[in-house]
Amino acid sequence: MSANVLSPKVYIVGAGPGDPELITVKGMRILSQADLVLYTDSLVNDELIAKAKPDAEVLHSSGMDLEQQVELMVKAVQAGRSVARVHTGDPAMYGAILEQMVLLKQAGVTYEIIPGVSSVFASAAVLGAELTVPDLTQTVILTRAEGRTPVPERERLRDLAAHHCTVALFLSATLAKKVVAEFLAAGWSEDTPVAVVQRATWPDQKIVRTTLAQLPADLRAAGITMHAMILAGWALDPGLTDKDAHRSKLYDRSFTHGYRKGVKPGE
C-alpha cells in the first residue's frame, strides 16, 4: 500500500487548541488524506478542516448523538474508507473517546489515536509559564470542578488542592465561586496567583491574570463563562520572570549527569 494512502480505519485525531498550525504533522497528514472527516465543529478551527482533500466527505458532529457518529464511521470503514474523527485539543483529556472506542470495538472496527496539543499546555505557553517550577511545585493536577457531571468522591477538589501544587481546571469557568471555596478550604491563600485563558491560541483569545479571591469577579468582568482554562498556583506568579531564582539542577554548573561532568565550586 502506498505511504500516501490511509488504511480503512478510524483515526481519532487531536486537532490542538485552536491555532491550525498546532496540529501534529501526523495529524495533518491523516486529515488531508482521510475519506471521511467528522469533526467537532463548535471547537475545531474551520481553517484546519479546510485542509481535507477536495473529495473528502466532511461532516459536523455537533448535531449527532454517539450512535449516529459511530454508525457513520463504521459504515465508512466497512466500505473501505478511512475516517478522521477530529477532536479539539488532545483526545485523552475530556475527549469522550472511550465511549466511541467501545462501540467501534464491538463493531470490529480498528481505530488509532493521534495525540494533540492540550489546551492546558497551550494556555501555559501563551502565559509564558512553566507549570513545574523548582522549589515551588513539581506536580500538576489536571481536573475540573464538579458540576452537572459528578466526580468521584476521592477526587473532590479540596482534597486535590490540599497538595498545594499547580492545578489546571478544565470546564470550570461557570463554577468559579465553588472553586474558590474548595481551594480556601484546602488552605490556599487568597492571594494565590490564578491565570485564565479563554480560547487559547484563537484570534479572539482572552487572558485574565488574577488571584484566587478575585477570580469570580474578574471572570464576570471579562465575560468568561466557557472555553476557558483555569491555572492556579504559585507557578503562575507573573513576577517569577523578574527574579533570578528557582533554577533547576539540570543546567547548574556543579550538577553532573550522563552527558556533562559538573564543575566543582571555585573551578
Residue 184: CB partners within 8 Å, gap ≥ 6? 190, 212
pLDDT tens string, the chain, 267 residues long: the values are 345 689 999 999 999 999 999 999 999 999 999 999 999 898 999 999 999 999 999 999 999 999 999 999 999 999 999 999 999 999 999 999 999 999 999 999 999 999 999 999 999 999 999 999 999 999 999 999 998 888 999 999 999 999 999 999 999 999 999 999 999 999 999 999 999 999 999 999 999 999 999 999 999 999 999 999 999 999 999 999 887 766 665 665 555 656 656 666 666
The three grid cell numbers given for residue 36, joined into one nine-digit string: 471521511
Report residue 3: phi and psi, to 5°.
-65, -20
Transcribe 5-55 into DSSP letters.
Answer: S--SSEEEEE-BSS-GGGS-HHHHHHHHH-SEEEE-TTTS-HHHHTTS-TT
